[in-house]
Amino acid sequence: GAGVSQTPSNKVTEKGKYVELRCDPISGHTALYWYRQSLGQGPEFLIYFQGTGAADDSGLPNDRFFAVRPEGSVSTLKIQRTERGDSAVYLCASRRDAANTDTQYFGPGTRLTVL
Amino acid sequence: LAKTTQPISMDSYEGQEVNITCSHNNIATNDYITWYQQFPSQGPRFIIQGYKTKVTNEVASLFIPADRKSSTLSLPRVSLSDTAVYYCLVGVDGSSNTGKLIFGQGTTLQVKP
């Protein structure tokens, strides 16, 4: 079946611009996560959705970052006034249900480059 | 979450068995041990998960000693396509019960012909 998909695969923007990154989770998965991965590092947690609500946004670095999941399926990560330090691969993962030990399935990521 | 320590990098040759050991001295009683694999330009992929003793699936084996302070991921007869970064993760987020994953730097495995 279809896995987690993310669009765009690459995004190049200029400093100060606004960007939106989209995640389509596996159908029926209620839990959705966003992570950010810098070069040479492991992924870093940003935000977690259970259904439509953000259950944990403690990983968002500042108020320029925001994410939504209005219908409990597709999620959009929004970054305002982008900075060069925001350049990274943004990964989305989904999980079937609320069992914390259940497997998370990752998408291929969106590579964001801020010039 | 329990901190993990694993080698930054390892080299191997095709056909060899590779063992990657992860230390997690502060593992809690209810923590599971999970390994993910990540290829370049892809998201991490679940490999195996265990709680104690030995777990085996079609991809790898996971050995966990009785004190659970370490674990060893074993990849039998590696091929060039096993070249990847391997992450050892311990526990789930017990404070908020979100299941968020905490990744370290991982072990970069380079398989040579």
- Answer for the pair B22, B50: CB distance below 8 angstroms, yes or no: no
Q: Is A108 on the interface with B (CB under 8 A)?
A: yes
What is the per-residue pLDDT across B78-104, written as a single tens digit (0 to 9) for each?
999 999 999 999 876 544 467 788 888
Q: Is A42 on the interface with B (CB under 8 A)?
A: yes
Q: Looking at residue B94, what is its pLDDT?
A: 45
What is the per-residue pLDDT across B5-14, written as a single tens digit (0 to 9) for each?
999 999 999 9
Q: Which pLDDT band holds residue B54 (cuts at 50, 70, 90)?
A: very high
Laid out side by side, the sheet with B107-112 consists of B9-13, B107-112, B84-90, B33-38, B45-50
Please answer yes or no on whether B103 and A95 come within 8 Å at the CB atom: no
What is the per-residue pLDDT across A35-63, written as a single tens digit (0 to 9) for each?
999 999 999 999 999 989 998 999 999 99
